[in-house]
Amino acid sequence: MQPLPSASLGIYADEELVKRLPGFTNHYATVNGVRLHYVEGGHGPALVCLPGWPQTWYSFHPIATELARHYRVILVDIRGMGSSDKPATGYDKKTMAQDIYELLRYLGLAKASLLGHDIGGMVASSFAFNYPQATEKLIIADGAHPSEGMRHMPLLPAAGSFTQKMDDQHPYPWWMAFNQVKELPEQLLAGRFHLLLDYLFGYVMLDETRMSAFDRALYAAVYNEPENIRASNAWYQAFEQDIADAQQYARLSMPVLGIGSYVSYNYLQMSLPYLADDVRVVGLMDSGHYMFEEKPARVLEAVLDFLQEPAAQ
């Protein structure tokens, strides 16, 4: 059953946002015990796009229309995001990958390529590990699968490195720890999420003006609700299970592309070869973490070149 329009969000409701993407339409599907919201447009081979924190399906709007000229583009609000359900459990990336697999089955798709950003990249990676037969190609943008390396993140930033912009040599993602805290973040941030967003965009983007006032207001409207903060933090609180699951996975055999911003390129370049046999990494060294907004043309070039490259025989 489809929900009524999100009247409380006004111009930021999905029913209004989708009008900004000609040829795209809103949909809902109940799969794996959870109702997912997704937006679909275009024709051709399937490309499933999974967003990250703290955004929604709309984060792909700078590149979605061009991608839809070549592919059947499916932009998904992952479990706990946007208009998708926010259950009490199921935020480990293996369960979230199953959500996406069941969505593909619902859509009658045997196989798809996946493009995931941030947390969405973690879910896309888990999908590839757990459903290699359903994965054509994997693209992760600043968001690889959780690993033991997370345990080595510093409690304190390196001396002199914690300034207005994230240091590419000593990145300090303090929200990884903050989002582990239960109940307190939603009490602090409900109705005030714009404060976190403005700080975050300024810290991890090289050109924060590329995140428009409309987009900022949209994400603030979505994440202002306590339940939405609780659910999105649950993605981080499941890292322990994600790390344990990673110990059981075999190497990936499908082609894998990593797209790294100035703070993630070196990490992806070092880590991805340990996970897959066919890997390439593109560095957008003049872009921060929110690369779809900062460098959409560069992202499109990397994604389309990779997807259109013939598979090795």
- Mean pLDDT split into 10-residue runs, the chain, 313 residues: 58 97 98 98 98 98 98 98 98 98 98 98 98 98 94 93 96 96 98 98 98 98 97 98 97 98 96 96 98 98 96 65
The predicted structure's pLDDT at residue 8: 79
- Residue 223 forms part of a structural domain: yes
- Residue 2 forms part of a structural domain: no
- Residue 313 forms part of a structural domain: no
* CATH number for the domain that contains residue 237: 3.40.50.1820
Stated length of the chain:
313
Q: Report pTM.
A: 0.96
- Residue 182 forms part of a structural domain: yes
Residue range of the domain that includes 61: 7-308
Residue 262 DSSP code: T
Taking residue 134's Cβ as centre, other Cβ atoms within 10 Å add up to 18
The predicted structure's pLDDT at residue 190: 97
The predicted structure's pLDDT at residue 5: 44
The predicted structure's pLDDT at residue 203: 98
Residue carrying structure tokens 């983007």:
205
In the chain, how many domains are there? 1
- Residue 125 forms part of a structural domain: yes
Residue 151 DSSP code: G
Integer angstrom CA distances of residue 13 from 22, 196, 217, 218, 228: 16, 21, 12, 9, 15
The predicted structure's pLDDT at residue 310: 86
The predicted structure's pLDDT at residue 313: 55
- Residue 155 forms part of a structural domain: yes
